[in-house]
Chains A and B, each alone.
Chain A
Amino acid sequence: MSIKIALAGNPNSGKTTLFNDLTGSSQHVGNWPGVTVEKKEGRLKGHNDVIIQDLPGIYSLSPYTLEEVVSRQYLVNEKPDAIIDIVDGTNIERNLYLTTQLLELGIPTVIAVNMIDVVRKSGDVINIRKLGEALGCEVVETSALKGTGSREAAERAIALAKKPVMANISVPSVFNGSVEHAIAHIEESIEGKVDARYLRWYAIKLFERDEKVIEELKLDIVLMEHLEEHIVACEKELDDDAESIITNQRYAYIAKLVQTAVKKKHTGQKLSLSDRIDRVVTNRILALPIFALVMFCVYYISISTVGAIVTDWTNDTLFGEMIVGNLNGWFESVNVAPWLSGLIVNGIIAGVGAVIGFVPQMLILFLMLSILEDVGYMARVAFIMDRIFRRFGLSGKSFIPMLISSGCGVPGVMACRTIENERDRRMTIMTTTFIPCGAKMPIIAMFAGALFGGSGLVATSAYFIGVASVIISGVILKKTRAFAGEAAPFVMELPAYHVPSAKNVFHSTWERGWSFIRRAGTIILASSVILWFLQGFGFVDGAFQMVEDNNNSILAAIGNVIAPIFTPVGFGNWKATVATFTGLIAKENVVGTFGVLYGLSEVAEDGAEIWSNLAADYTPLTAYSFMLFNLLCAPCFAAIGAIKREMNNAKWTWAAIGYLCGYAYVIAFIVYQLGKLFAGGGFGVGTVFAIAAVISLVYLLLRKNRYGEYGEYLPERKVTANA
Chain B
Amino acid sequence: MKTLRNVKIGETATVLKLHGTGAVKRRIMDMGVTKGADIYVRKVAPLGDPVEVTVRGYELSIRKSDADMIEVS
**A residues adjacent to B (C-beta < 8 A):** 59-60, 62, 64-65, 90-94, 97, 240, 243-244, 247-248, 251-252, 269, 274-275, 278, 282-285, 287-288, 379, 383-388, 390, 489-496
**Interface flags, B18-35, vs A, CB<8A=1, else 0:** 100011111111111011
In the complex, the answer to whether A247 meets B45 with C-beta atoms within 8 Å is: no
Closest to A490 in B: B63
**Interface flags, B46-61, vs A, CB<8A=1, else 0:** 1111101010111111
Chain B residues closer than 8 Å to A496, beta-carbon distance: 58-59
Question: How far does the Cβ of B21 sit from chain A's closest Cβ, in whole Å?
Answer: 8
For A251, give its contact among B25, B34, B46, B52 (CB under 8 Å): B34
Asked whether A386 and B50 contact (CB < 8 A) given A97-B32, A248-B35, A490-B66, the answer is: yes
Distance of A240 Cα from B21 Cα, bound (Å): 12
Closest to B15 in A: A248
In the complex, the answer to whether B61 meets A494 with C-beta atoms within 8 Å is: yes
In the complex, the answer to whether A387 meets B29 with C-beta atoms within 8 Å is: no
* Closest A-B pairs by Cβ, 7 of them: A387-B47, A60-B30, A494-B59, A489-B24, A64-B23, A287-B46, A93-B56
In the complex, the answer to whether A94 meets B34 with C-beta atoms within 8 Å is: no
Chain A residues closer than 8 Å to B44, beta-carbon distance: 284
Tally chain B residues at the interface, Cβ within 8 Å: 39
Question: How far does the Cβ of B39 sit from chain A's closest Cβ, in whole Å?
Answer: 12
Residue picked from B40, B49, B61, most chain A C-beta under 10 Å: B61
Asked whether A489 and B23 contact (CB < 8 A) given A247-B34, A386-B49, the answer is: yes
In the complex, the answer to whether A93 meets B57 with C-beta atoms within 8 Å is: yes
Asked whether A387 and B48 contact (CB < 8 A) given A62-B30, A64-B27, A489-B24, the answer is: yes
Distance of A284 Cα from B31 Cα, bound (Å): 25
Question: How far does the Cβ of A722 sit from chain B's closest Cβ, in whole Å?
Answer: 13
Question: How far does the Cβ of B40 sit from chain A's closest Cβ, in whole Å?
Answer: 6
Residue B5 CB within 8 A of the other chain? no
For A490, give its contact among B37, B48, B50 (CB under 8 Å): B50
**A–B pairs, 13, beta carbons within 8 Å:** A60-B26, A60-B30, A93-B32, A97-B30, A243-B26, A247-B30, A379-B61, A383-B61, A386-B50, A490-B61, A490-B62, A494-B59, A496-B58
Distance of A180 Cα from B66 Cα, bound (Å): 31
Question: How far does the Cβ of A265 sit from chain B's closest Cβ, in whole Å?
Answer: 12
In the complex, the answer to whether B47 meets A388 with C-beta atoms within 8 Å is: yes
Chain B residues closer than 8 Å to A248, beta-carbon distance: 29, 34-36
In the complex, the answer to whether B46 meets A493 with C-beta atoms within 8 Å is: no
Question: How far does the Cβ of A329 sit from chain B's closest Cβ, in whole Å?
Answer: 60
Question: How far does the Cβ of A413 sit from chain B's closest Cβ, in whole Å?
Answer: 25
Asked whether A285 and B46 contact (CB < 8 A) given A386-B63, A491-B60, the answer is: yes
Closest to B69 in A: A489
Question: How far does the Cβ of A234 sit from chain B's closest Cβ, in whole Å?
Answer: 15
Asked whether A283 and B46 contact (CB < 8 A) given A93-B57, A494-B52, A494-B59, the answer is: yes
Chain A residues closer than 8 Å to B63, beta-carbon distance: 386, 390, 489-491
Chain A residues closer than 8 Å to B40, beta-carbon distance: 269
In the complex, the answer to whether B18 meets A244 with C-beta atoms within 8 Å is: yes
In the complex, the answer to whether B29 meets A247 with C-beta atoms within 8 Å is: yes
Distance of A383 Cα from B61 Cα, bound (Å): 7
In the complex, the answer to whether B31 meets A94 with C-beta atoms within 8 Å is: yes
Question: How far does the Cβ of B17 sit from chain A's closest Cβ, in whole Å?
Answer: 8
In the complex, the answer to whether A493 meets B27 with C-beta atoms within 8 Å is: no
Chain A residues closer than 8 Å to B59, beta-carbon distance: 274-275, 278, 493-496
